[in-house]
Structure 1
Amino acid sequence: MPSPHAPPPTPRLARRTTGVLTSLLLSAGLVLTPTSAVHADPLERPNPPVISSTDYPECTTESCEAAGGTGVAGTFVLQAMDDDVVAFDHGWSGPPINRVPAVNGTATLELTPPGYGGWSLYARAVDADGNVSSTVYYSFVVDRLSPPVAGWDLESGPHSVPLANIVPNGPALVPGGETGWAADARLIGVDTADLDGAGHFTAGTGVVDTTRSFSVAAWVNLSDKSTDGNVIGVDGENMSALYVGYLAALDRWVLGVPHTDTQRHRWSYAIAPEAVTVGQWTHLTASVDRETDTASLYVNGELSAQTALPEAWAATGEFRVGNALYRGELTAHWNGRLAAVRVYDRALIAEDIVRGRDDNRPLMWPALTGHWNFDNDCCGEAIDLSGWDRWLALHNGTSFDVGHDWSGYGMVFDGVDDYAATAGQVLRTDNSFTLSAWARVDADTDFGVLGIEGAEQSAISVDYDA
């Protein structure tokens, strides 16, 4: 029993009692006037928040369905369980450190998950006294970005079949008109599709839905700038749903979208700012984003031009490569080489083209044309691991010894006349290319590491200059 001289007991209120009370009479004799404020214990931690999202549903013991996608933002709501919460910390790992204010006990966040697969959003509540709750997490699964829905290499070599679809059971390309093949046009040892303005390819109907987001891409090499040349089109009754290729009147790469499938219509154009160079391989990507109604033209992986899109219309006819349907007639026949046509059922961005996302390789993934690690040698030669059988022959006493990481082998040269070389050409030096190797200097003297021979001199040499 308390002493008659002791102060009355301190009233204890639940954490959620933080507002102004209009009246309250306690049996201990303490009366709070209408202007009295009652706050939670400053040493008591708030309850953790509740996290929710309709864009990325939470995994449960019963289900865990993937949603969204890499690069796709979602709305996440943090809801306080106490009235005096003034902020939240959140992040993709714990402890979360990104602080945002709470408005009426809530914070609505637009967040983009870092990648595909399983992720957790971590969060904690912060009250007016600076107390921080324990951390909670919200687990969900980000859907993997879809690979191409169709693709044709248009090249014959050890790694490709020219007209076959890279997607199992997908339609093959069917040649029409005068189609030809050019040897060593892009890759040494490969025949590449070569059209002279009279040929084309088709793949039937239903390849892509033009009323939704989609993208198409290809490597192109223009031979003649005197006429228009279309790379990829999808037919309606009168028009192709898109035109991606060369427009002679402007001397530019363009992405054109007709507003309607009629004889008379308007166009939306994305026009590249730079003139086109004949005989130069260029990568073109046309991305149609129906969430933003925007069409984007990428040239060699860089965003070159964009345009607003009209309302979509369904092109249910042929998917074609090398020409376009214009007012019911086939026109804009391509004059040049074509390779690596790809079709996606989503809008692509630059990262898809030059870096790749999820498990998808970038569209501009370089072709490996030679690879020698010297762990496997036979008969005085180093085996080529690239699949092209371009073995390196060792000359004048070149030998093998321990490699750069002590787990394999490397070649040893005497600095006088030792060298190793392939029997023939490995790549074209008039296209982009890269050479790389590990090298170690054993003597302070000039020497060459890598080189590609021309008729009179090396097209490139990687050297050590003492």
Structure 2
Amino acid sequence: MVLGGDFNTSRPELLAPIAQIARECDGRSYAPGDASQEVTHYTYVTAPGPAYGTYTSSKLDYLYSTDDFTGCDSWTQKADQADYRATTVPTGVSDHAPLYGYTCGGPRLSWDMHGSVDGVVADCSAYDNNGSTLGAVEWSAADGGAAVFGGTGHLATPTPPVDSRLSLSVTAWVKIAANAPTGAIAALDGSRISGFILWYEADGATWRFGMPVADADGWNVDRVIPTVPAVAGKWTHLVATYDAVSGQMALYADGALLGTAQHTSVWKAAGAFTVGRDLVNGRPNAFFHGSIRDVRLYDYPLAPAQAADPTL
């Protein structure tokens, strides 16, 4: 359900009955520097006095949804703020600024990983983020179908499906091979290092999720380091999330929270989304050994209850 419009009040507490069943889009920020509760209405002061010819501003417009939002903004440039002492030409189409938001929808990328056609892995999302098969990747019909990686191949998109400076989530079903070395499940290429990496760490046999602090050589990575070991030969549903507002990363396995970490040194990784390897020192790195299926990429942080959903 989506409900919005001019509610003619600057007191959101009066709208509590709606807020009990729906979220207001501009009730919080969605990225560093993004303001909340932005102005949506301008009133021209016509009465004589010190304020004559200026504008007062307020928030009178609201947008609610029973789904969460991935972003919200008041388009203040479209509101009339003309100085009528000097002109009669409006600078906008209304005294109200358009308020628009984006609800949490489906994934930005969805690869079932049941096979490829002419080397192309089809994206089942609405965004056509198809992938190319690079190197040796095999396909298994077992367990509903999966890509099998032997340490020499990977999959990649031509462009980045998400912005690593903003909130995101990556999910996948993973089965690590016995005695596998460290290997990347999913990553987003920068120029020198991946913007985020979901991987298996052979040292300690654990799943990991990390986000480098800069697009630079070396290994300066904010990361979640669990203590619960991964089990080789067992299908595991992994969910990694990043909330750009709080700076918190989280990693889940089969719905259980493995750990959290902070990441605030944001930068944009403008390269390919990859499955089966990452990028370190400008070179492909950590090729995966094992099977991967049902990879999903979202442009918002999945909630803990969603992380427990094996279909996401």
| Aligned partner of 2:113 among 145, 154, 175 | 154
* Alpha-carbon distance in structure 2 between the residues aligned to 1:229 and 1:347: 24
* Alpha-carbon distance in structure 2 between the residues aligned to 1:144 and 1:261: 30
**Relative to structure 1, is the Cα distance of residues 301 and 68 closer, same or farther in structure 2, using a 3 angstrom cutoff?**
farther
- 1:67 to partner: Cα distance: 2.0
* Alpha-carbon distance in structure 2 between the residues aligned to 1:365 and 1:319: 21
Structure 2 gap ranges (5+): 1-8, 31-35, 38-63, 69-99
Q: Deviations for 1:343-398, whole angstroms, at most 9, x for unmatched residues?
A: 111111211223xxxxxxx4x139xxxxxxxxxxxxxxxxxxxxxxxxxxxxxxxx
CA contact (8 A) 2:24 2:65 kept: no
Deviation >3 Å, runs of 4+:
56-59, 113-117, 141-144
Residue 336 of structure 1 aligns with which residue? 290
Partner amino acid, structure 1, of 2:112:
D
CA contact (8 A) 1:217 1:343 kept: yes
1:322 aligns with 2:276: yes
| Aligned partner of 1:212 among 156, 166, 169 | 166
Q: Deviations for 1:78-129, whole angstroms, at most 9, x for unmatched residues?
A: xxxxxxxxxxxxxxxxxxxxxxxxxxxxxxxxxxx99339xxxxxxxxxxxx
Q: TM-score, normalised by structure 2?
A: 0.67
Q: Deviations for 1:17-36, whole angstroms, at most 9, x for unmatched residues?
A: xxxxxxxxxxxxxxxxxxxx
Matched positions, count: 234
**Relative to structure 1, is the Cα distance of residues 267 and 51 closer, same or farther in structure 2, using a 3 angstrom cutoff?**
same
- 1:331 to partner: Cα distance: 1.1
Q: TM-score, normalised by structure 1?
A: 0.46
Q: Tell me the SS of whatever aligns to 2:307.
A: helix
Residue 116 of structure 1 aligns with which residue? 67
Partner amino acid, structure 1, of 2:181:
T
Q: Tell me the SS of whatever aligns to 1:198.
A: coil
- 1:167 to partner: Cα distance: 1.7
Residue 182 of structure 2 aligns with which residue? 228
Partner amino acid, structure 1, of 2:203:
A
**Relative to structure 1, is the Cα distance of residues 229 and 365 closer, same or farther in structure 2, using a 3 angstrom cutoff?**
same
CA contact (8 A) 2:114 2:146 kept: yes
Q: Deviations for 1:10-56, whole angstroms, at most 9, x for unmatched residues?
A: xxxxxxxxxxxxxxxxxxxxxxxxxxxxxxxxxxxxxxxx77239x9
Residue 25 of structure 2 aligns with which residue? 67
Q: Deviations for 1:421-465, whole angstroms, at most 9, x for unmatched residues?
A: xxxxxxxxxxxxxxxxxxxxxxxxxxxxxxxxxxxxxxxxxxxxx
| Aligned partner of 1:168 among 87, 102, 126 | 126
Partner amino acid, structure 1, of 2:170:
V
* Alpha-carbon distance in structure 2 between the residues aligned to 1:169 and 1:208: 11
Partner amino acid, structure 2, of 1:365:
T
Residue 251 of structure 1 aligns with which residue? 205
- 1:68 to partner: Cα distance: 5.2
- 1:242 to partner: Cα distance: 1.4
**Relative to structure 1, is the Cα distance of residues 174 and 276 closer, same or farther in structure 2, using a 3 angstrom cutoff?**
same
Q: Tell me the SS of whatever aligns to 1:242.
A: strand
CA contact (8 A) 1:66 1:143 kept: no
Partner amino acid, structure 1, of 2:208:
V
Structure 1 gap ranges (5+): 1-49, 60-64, 76-112, 118-140, 355-361, 367-466
**Relative to structure 1, is the Cα distance of residues 223 and 293 closer, same or farther in structure 2, using a 3 angstrom cutoff?**
same
Q: Tell me the SS of whatever aligns to 1:275.
A: coil
- 1:177 to partner: Cα distance: 0.6
Spell out the pairing of 1:5-24 with structure 2 (5 A cutoff). none
Higher helix share: 2
1:178 aligns with 2:124: no
**Relative to structure 1, is the Cα distance of residues 146 and 69 closer, same or farther in structure 2, using a 3 angstrom cutoff?**
farther
Q: Tell me the SS of whatever aligns to 2:302.
A: coil
Q: What RMSD over aligned residues (CA atoms) do the two structures have, in Å?
A: 3.4
| Aligned partner of 1:306 among 248, 260, 275 | 260
1:286 aligns with 2:240: yes
* Alpha-carbon distance in structure 1 between the residues aligned to 2:230 and 2:182: 12
CA contact (8 A) 1:69 1:116 kept: no
CA contact (8 A) 2:108 2:127 kept: no
Partner amino acid, structure 2, of 1:344:
Y
* Alpha-carbon distance in structure 2 between the residues aligned to 1:288 and 1:206: 16
1:238 aligns with 2:192: yes
| Aligned partner of 1:203 among 151, 157, 160 | 157
Q: Deviations for 1:242-261, whole angstroms, at most 9, x for unmatched residues?
A: 12120111211011221111
Partner amino acid, structure 1, of 2:211:
V
Partner amino acid, structure 1, of 2:12:
S
CA contact (8 A) 1:57 1:67 kept: no
Spell out the pairing of 1:312-461 with structure 2 (5 A cutoff). 312-354=266-308, 362=309, 364-365=310-311
* Alpha-carbon distance in structure 1 between the residues aligned to 2:179 and 2:266: 31
